[in-house]
Amino acid sequence: MNTIIMSKVLNIFKKLIFAHIIFLVLMSIFRLVFFIYYSPLNSLNGFYKDIAKAFFLGFRIDLTVIGYIQVLPTLFLIILYYIKKESLLNIFNKFLLYYIFICYFIVSLFLCTDFGFYSYFKEHINILLFGFFDDDTEALLVTFWQNYHIVLILALFFMYLSGLFFSVKKIFNIKDKSYNSFFGLKISALIFFIIFILNFLAVRGTLGMYPLGKMIPNVSTNSFINKVSHNGFRAYTNALSAREKYLARKYDLLKVVGYDKNIAKAFEVYKSSKDINRDDLLKNITNRTEKKDDKQYNVVVIMVESFGMPILKYQSDDFNILGSLKKHFDEDTLFTNFISEGDGTISSLESLLLNIPHRPKSFAFSQSIYKQTPFTYTPAFLYDSAGYETTFVYGGDLTWRNLGNFVKYQGYKNVEGKINIYEHLNDKSKPKEDYFHPWGIYDQYLMKHILKKLENSDNKKQFIVALTTNNHPPYNVPKDYKRNSLIFNEKIKKHITGDIDLAKQRFASYAYAVDQIGKFLDEFKKTKYKDNTIIAITADNNTIDGIMKYDNNQILNSKNIPLYFYIPKELKEKLNIDMKVAGSHKDIFPTLYNLTLKDKNYISIGTNLFDNSKKHYGFNGSLVINNKNIAKRFDNLNIKNEPMLEYYKANLAITEYLIKQYNKKGK
């Protein structure tokens, strides 16, 4: 063993260990801040052991990140030892200062990104992160600027980085000591073998079969405590891996759910019968409408941005979150056991447009190989064949997620965005900028546009699907809007997590968006179209979940959105409606088909919500399933012998099969 060179190598290893210990402490402090800021727990009683386990597991996961950072120094130090040039080791010592700092900077950046991501989705970084790069960049920047103290955050982050850099620099400037052994060992090959094994174990984080980070065990029955263990950097690498596999077509959903070699079995589970059509499997999800009358109806479907359900239980005169919509919710048909298919707008919207469950880890159809695929079984094609004028209206830019181009392939003859809405306004007396917010046109103008389309229909049946944009960061409302009372009582404050001032902005925007729906219905019910139009109103997701904690039904509440129907009185009296049945976006159009289309065949995985003889399930891509009074979240799709999950997996397999049929046929 060359004692001088080995001493130099061991001194560098010692400095690296000191730096890593400091950064591990910082990562643990970050985890503590995350826990305190987002914890929905009213009391820690009964959870102390679980919390301790979560923090210890989190430390081990953080150590895997350090392990990856340490791989390059470990390998180079071994190589440099055998080169036996002290000058190269001195140069490498200086290089390591910047290498370590840059690595720590990148990890810190992802920890902060994860913190912000969690505030919106109540999940650690996942595949949805990459959707941000497909959003309106300018609008995102405006959102961040208006909703967050960007200057303060950047200043604090810069101070943190400065302190981190000078700490690492001070460590690497520590005067070397003389070492003639490594804990008594003097055989260089054995020393490096031990160091290499320790580095390998740090990367794996476990002696078990699966590396820690790829497979993170639960430590508690409380879902939030389980989330505390995760860190943003590992969450990002897992999301990146999922994205790369999907883009490379390596993510096989049929294989994941266990039906890649026996798709017919999925149809048996779906139908609860072995008596299925095996020659044409799609016949098993082909139904025929059973219309209750012979009257012709317009159909209007409106998806309201971030219209979550749980906050509505605080409705009162002082906290008038529903505004003009309250009386319509009271008068008409409202399903409250309803959940969103996705956690983002595009995933839920495409589930609605294509009448399918959202597939976990999938990308937007509009930005995939299917972006120009006409799915001819879908609603607009069906209504077009029945003589309807089909229209899709979006309150934002149609270039968002390539949505406008995708929708044109789905049977919509008219595809209109914010500019089309603005151009058709009768009153443009205000400055143009007063009609818009960063993500699109204010909802009140979109609502007027829909009413105007009904009024100008020339007696041709209208099929209109609309997506609003207003209840979205940075939570703007029109300058001249007269706000309803939104006084936060102690009960509401108790259930809000995070910044109260930001919560007030979010609820003000929410209240405006919902109020505009109510005012739209006020005006609509004064017209002649109230007797020949059916309206369905729902949401894309419940992003309010990101700043709320719940006393009970946490799983259902996290995904809970409303589904409202306006149905003319004469038709409604003919229906047997159970408003407590479970459902999700896949069920909206099967319900509308049976209200509005006479003896039409349609393909659908969802069910008619007004048919009490059917099984009614709600699905969410985060593996949340509800049925009747039960809502469950599952950790993964590999779990066996869970009836609710097995039914969900069968639905996913059928969905994937249906989509692939269209891809194979080149439709």
Q: Could you tell me the CATH number of the domain that includes residue 569?
A: 3.40.720.10
The strand pairing partners of 86, in sequence order, are: none
Banded model confidence at residue 666, pLDDT cuts 50, 70, 90: very low
> Quick one: 574 and 432 in the same domain?
yes
Q: Per the domain annotation, does 266 fall within a domain?
A: no
Q: What is the pLDDT of residue 418?
A: 93
Contact in structure between 203 and 68 (CB atoms under 8 Å): yes
Q: Which two tokens stand for residue 54?
A: 């979560």
Banded model confidence at residue 138, pLDDT cuts 50, 70, 90: low
Q: Which residue, 229, 247, 265, sits at the end of a domain?
A: 247
> Quick one: 340 and 236 in the same domain?
no
Q: Which residue, 206, 223, 247, sits at the end of a domain?
A: 247
Q: What is the pLDDT of residue 542?
A: 93
The answer, yes or no, to whether residue 582 has pLDDT greater than 50, is yes
Tally of structural domains, the chain: 2
What single-letter DSSP state applies at residue 560?
B
CA atoms within 13 A on the CB side of 116: 15
> Quick one: 232 and 308 in the same domain?
no
> Quick one: 230 and 310 in the same domain?
no
> Quick one: 387 and 242 in the same domain?
no
By mean pLDDT, which of 243-252, 301-310, 435-444, 596-605 is the weakest? 243-252
The answer, yes or no, to whether residue 155 has pLDDT greater than 50, is yes
Q: What is the pLDDT of residue 250?
A: 66
SS3 letters across 414-460: EEECHHHHHHCCCCCCCCHHHHEECCEECHHHHHHHHHHHHHCCCCC
Q: Mean pLDDT throughout 206-213?
A: 69
The answer, yes or no, to whether residue 261 has pLDDT greater than 80, is yes
Residue 200 to residues 24, 59, 193, 211, 557, Cα–Cα distance (Å): 17, 16, 10, 11, 42
> Quick one: 346 and 209 in the same domain?
no
Q: Which two tokens stand for residue 385?
A: 């064949």
Q: Per the domain annotation, does 73 fall within a domain?
A: yes
The answer, yes or no, to whether residue 471 has pLDDT greater than 60, is yes
Banded model confidence at residue 602, pLDDT cuts 50, 70, 90: very high
Q: Per the domain annotation, does 273 fall within a domain?
A: no
Q: What is the pLDDT of residue 667?
A: 38
Helix (H, G, I), strand (E, B) or coil at 570: helix
The answer, yes or no, to whether residue 213 has pLDDT greater than 70, is no
Query: Distance between alpha carbon 589 and the CA centroid of its chain, in Å?
Result: 23
Report the C-alpha gap between 606 and 270 in whole angstroms: 11
Whether this model's pTM surpasses 0.85: no
> Quick one: 78 and 219 in the same domain?
yes
> Quick one: 201 and 304 in the same domain?
no
Q: Per the domain annotation, does 373 fall within a domain?
A: yes
Q: Per the domain annotation, does 502 fall within a domain?
A: no
pLDDT in tens, 545-570: 778 888 888 899 999 999 999 999 99
> Quick one: 173 and 306 in the same domain?
no
Mean pLDDT value across the chain: 90
> Quick one: 310 and 236 in the same domain?
no
Q: Mean pLDDT throughout 134-152?
A: 64
User: Which structural domain range is residue 467 located in?
Assistant: 298-314+327-479+529-665
Residue 231 to residues 24, 36, 112, Cα–Cα distance (Å): 12, 15, 10
The answer, yes or no, to whether residue 144 has pLDDT greater than 70, is no
Q: Per the domain annotation, does 466 fall within a domain?
A: yes
Report the C-alpha gap between 643 and 327 in whole angstroms: 39
pLDDT in tens, 11-63: 899 999 999 999 999 999 999 999 998 888 888 888 999 999 999 999 999 99
Q: Mean pLDDT throughout 477-490?
A: 94
Q: Per the domain annotation, does 243 fall within a domain?
A: yes
> Quick one: 418 and 534 in the same domain?
yes
Q: φ, ψ for residue 301 (rounded to 5)?
A: -125, 125
Contact in structure between 386 and 593 (CB atoms under 8 Å): no
Q: Which residue, 220, 247, 274, sits at the end of a domain?
A: 247
294 φ/ψ sector (left φ>0, alpha ψ -120 to 50, else beta): alpha
pLDDT in tens, 225-251: 888 988 888 888 887 876 776 666 667
The answer, yes or no, to whether residue 127 has pLDDT greater than 80, is no
Q: What is the pLDDT of residue 4?
A: 80
Report the C-alpha gap between 540 and 305 in whole angstroms: 6
> Quick one: 117 and 193 in the same domain?
yes
Q: Mean pLDDT throughout 617-633?
A: 95
Banded model confidence at residue 135, pLDDT cuts 50, 70, 90: low
Q: Per the domain annotation, does 285 fall within a domain?
A: no
Report the C-alpha gap between 270 and 666 in whole angstroms: 27
pLDDT in tens, 354-400: 999 999 988 888 877 788 899 999 999 999 999 999 999 999 988 78
